Chains A and B, each alone.
Chain A
Amino acid sequence: MHKKQTRDILLFILGGVVLYFLSGMVDELRVYQGASIAVYVIAISSIILLTGYSGQVSLGHGALMAVGAYAAAVARIELHVPIILCFAIAVLAAAIGGALLGAAAARLSGPYLAGTTLALAIGLPSLANQFSLLGGEQGLLFDVGFPPLSLGADFTQYKWFFWIAALAALISMWVIKNILSSRYGRTWRAIRGNEVAAQLSGINIARSKILAFTISAGIAGLAGALLSMTIGTVSPSAFPLALSFSLLTGAVLSGITTLGGAMIGAVVLVAIPEVADAVANRIGSSERVTTNLPGLLVSALLILTVLFVPNGPVEQHRARKARKLTLKK
């Protein structure tokens, strides 16, 4: 067990080093997209933890991201706390929101849970319009500040965002991975497998479910604060219903039960619009095609995934490998 952990830590550090050098080699647009991918990796892994492991559906993670984002922005503007604390506050605030939601969610399942979280995704962001502290429709500025001067004069703002987001992604993946392989992860999987059996083995179902919701929400809150960092502002329109849906889409594309696949979903979400643009330009089509192509491509990918690799490409690959192994034996 110890050996495996050391290997994992080394892998994460290696990943960090690769990202560090990568950020120096690509142009500014790619660096910005890299930051977006890192944000999506975190958000998608929060869904994977919740849905793939504890078996609860959430269509409202966009709203939990909004909670984190607003908490971070208000902390920054009103209390002038250091940026790292803002992110911690974002995690905490969203986790509290998640715990409340989780308490209700533990009594619901299936379509009822989906409906409740959906309502949250629609309603919660526009609550910001009710309180002047939250800046209404136009939102609040969320400024993490310029990169430290010691990094050099030509160190761009986006590279700074990328570093922060990528580091946060690595750390949260590490944390999630450990939680999932701990007692809690096993408990959640037991519940997902069969609630009655889990209960008979002495698992407190409600408490476990609420815990899963709380942790997942906290991670989503971090993703929300990071998303606001990349766009410099927090406003209700930054957290539309479409965001919650695309996160779920990303999670399905990643393979809902494989944490490691989060990368795939995140890259797809960021890359598809650009791919669509390139395709539309190649065939020289009208604006209507260009603007609708990204949605079409994502939907097509989603359908194909569900049809052919329902557990995600990573899981599929693993299963095939396992099958080959047993055949050899």
Chain B
Amino acid sequence: MKAMNRRKLLSVSAVLAVASLAATAVPAQAAEVGVTSSSIKLGMTLPMTGTASLGYNKIPGAAKAYFDYLNANGGIYGRKVTLVVKDDRYVPTEAVAKTNELILKDKVMALLAPLGTANVKAVAASVNPARRGVPVLFVNTGFSGFADAKKYPTTYAVLPSYIMEAKIMGQYIKDNFAGKKVGLLYQDDDFGSDALAGFKTAGVNFAVKVPYASGSQGAAAAAGWITKFKAAEADVVILFGVSSATSAMLGVAAQLKYAPQWMLGSVGGDATTIKLTGVPAGVLYNAIGFSPVPATTDMKDEYVKLFSDIYTKAVPGSTFDLNVLLGMNSAFMAAQALKAAGPNPTRKSLMAVIDSKGSTFANSALVPLGYSKTSHVGLTGYWVGKYSPTGDLSPLGGTYVTYTTDSGAGAVVKSTYVRPAMPAKGLPN
């Protein structure tokens, strides 16, 4: 009996000991992957080397510059935000391998701003962040599909879709170039078919449509395109392609003294990238362009002023351009989401807060965000501007006139959105 009691005592105390151990272990386990008491780890994959890296390879430096600024000013509830960047060379195989490393080895809390439709699709299919519950914040592609919260439940779009852009261009043509002959250069794949869908919804009738296959664009091809536009006597020519197609077209047209009214899509209309291909920015002069965020030279804009100050200090000698602004804007939005997720952010609470409050997040864009529980649509519109002789896009008549729409059949309307004032010092509130 005595022996029995002793055994009971032993087993009870053993259970108690284990239980107390378990109890002390609980708070440590409650923390989310990638979140410690002093840090929050995010991960990014994008092309840092290779031909596709032109311009885009500035995005990590831009995002890091903002996070460093944030960390120096107290971070998120005292936690420093760190960013692990991996080069995917714009190859889906690499994007999958590197994202696996980020999630399984570096154990990041969320992915930030991965780039390229094919890459994001491959990652969604193979790594499957949705099944793992890993948030994919603010993907850098205009493919409208990523806004589908059912198909990609943990993925959030940020750029306006190609469909929205084409619809807004169509509206602008109706309002300003009624009766003129319009030509379109587009990429002969999903990028182009999204554009065609948008123009169709907007009811644009083209005098001539010139498709090109991705990879075929060059000076020789551009000379051929020009012949077609000339033959159709197009007054307005829309270049809805990638930067290399835009620069080939504008470069050759300048040599041949062919000068219709150019209209450039936002993908191929970045002056820095065009300059990197060796074409002088002057060829952009007087072209019409579209952007969701303020002009990068507009130092009267509080966001542009602050972001360019932060960036030039962090990365001296590098030009503050659209890629930088978009990169910092995504970092700023990520900071807002993390702050809004509260003192103990989890992957779940992070996504829940974007669903519920994301549409009100402060950010530099002049058009509204569309996040909700059922949709992961990001920015929903553009303002229209003209390019200066140095290739900078600035608003027509000096004031931003913004249009907003959706990726479906919805109308294009002049936006009444008034951007809220920037939170103090550009830190999330």
Please list the residues of chain A having a beta carbon within 8 angstroms of any beta carbon in chain B: 27-29, 32-33, 36, 126, 129-130, 135-139, 141-143, 157, 227, 230-233, 235-238, 240, 242-243, 273-274, 277, 287, 290-292, 295
Contact = CB atoms under 8 A, between A and B. Distances in A.
Nearest to B51: A240
Contact of A291 (B87, B90, B117, B189): B87
A129 B188 contact: yes
A233 B122 contact: yes
Given A136-B189, A232-B126, A27 B104 contact: yes
Contacts of B48: 287, 291
B87 A126 contact: no
Contact of B118 (A29, A138, A243, A290): A138
Contacts of B96: 230-232
Interface in B79-117: 85-87, 89-93, 96-97, 100-101, 104-105, 116-117
B66 interface: no
Interface centre among B61, B93, B188, B193 (most CB of A within 10 A): B93
Nearest to B125: A232
B118 A237 contact: yes
Contacts of B318: none
Contacts of B187: 137
A287 to B, nearest CB: 6
A139 B105 contact: no
Contacts of A129: 188-189, 213-215
B169 to A, nearest CB: 21
Which 6 residue pairs spanning A and B have beta carbons closest together?
A: A232-B125, A136-B189, A232-B126, A29-B104, A291-B87, A291-B48
Interface in B175-217: 187-191, 193, 213-216
A231 B89 contact: no
A231 B188 contact: no
B128 interface: yes
Contacts of B118: 137-139, 233, 235, 237-238
B190 A237 contact: no
B121 interface: yes
B93 A137 contact: no
B358 interface: no
B101 A138 contact: no
B35 to A, nearest CB: 20
B125 A143 contact: yes
Nearest to B104: A29
B375 to A, nearest CB: 21
B333 to A, nearest CB: 22
Contacts of B121: 138-139, 141, 233, 235
Nearest to A232: B125
Interface in B57-91: 60-61, 85-87, 89-91
B271 to A, nearest CB: 24
Contact of A137 (B100, B101, B126, B189): B189
A295 B124 CA distance: 27
Q: Residue among B89, B96, B126 with the most chain A CB within 10 A?
A: B126
B85 A235 contact: no
Contacts of A238: 91-93, 118, 122
A274 B116 CA distance: 23
Nearest to A36: B97
Contacts of B188: 129-130, 136
Contact of A138 (B93, B128, B189): B189
B126 A237 contact: no
A287 B188 CA distance: 35
Nearest to B52: A237
Nearest to A157: B128
Contacts of A290: 87
Contacts of B124: 232
B143 interface: yes
B85 A242 contact: no
Contacts of A236: 214
A292 B49 contact: yes
6 contacts: A32-B104, A129-B188, A129-B213, A129-B215, A139-B122, A287-B48
A231 B143 contact: no
Nearest to B145: A138
A143 B86 CA distance: 26
A141 B125 contact: yes
Contact of B92 (A32, A233, A242, A287): A233
Contacts of B193: 136
Given A36-B97, A130-B213, A238-B91, A231 B126 contact: yes
A126 B104 CA distance: 32
A138 B190 contact: yes
